[in-house]
Amino acid sequence: MSATLLYVTASSKEEALRIGRTLVEERLAACANVVAPTTAIYWWEGAVQEGSEAALIIKTQAHLADAVTGRVKQLHSYSCPCVIALPIAGGNPDFLDWIIKETS
């Protein structure tokens, strides 16, 4: 089993907290870190946009990435939320084992 990080952006700190708490309570994530505020500059609907968002960093098992993505899409206010899975190549083995232990 291997661990992975998912990077998600949300419309606000409150939305990121709600999504992160739900994922942890449902054992889809061992931990969710909310970083807010962040400023996003992006193309949307044919124009450059800029706005405040919150970043959510989710720690889970690699095989749960699709389930986490699906749940984020259900909980999210955006029609096309950013959800990116990043494999973890290494780190503190005890911490990586904890991620595996705390997720279903």
What would the pLDDT profile of 71-82 be if each residue is shown by its tens digit?
999 999 999 999
pTM for the complete prediction?
A: 0.94
Residue 58 tokens, joined: 């989710």
What would the pLDDT profile of 83-101 be if each residue is shown by its tens digit?
999 999 999 999 999 999 9
Q: How many domains would you assign to the chain?
A: 1
What is the residue range of 30's domain?
A: 3-102
**β pairing state of 31-44 and 47-61:** antiparallel
Q: What is the CATH number of the domain that holds 48?
A: 3.30.70.120
- Whole-angstrom Cα distance, residue 85 to residue 56? 12
Phi, psi (rounded to 5 degrees) for 82: -75, 120
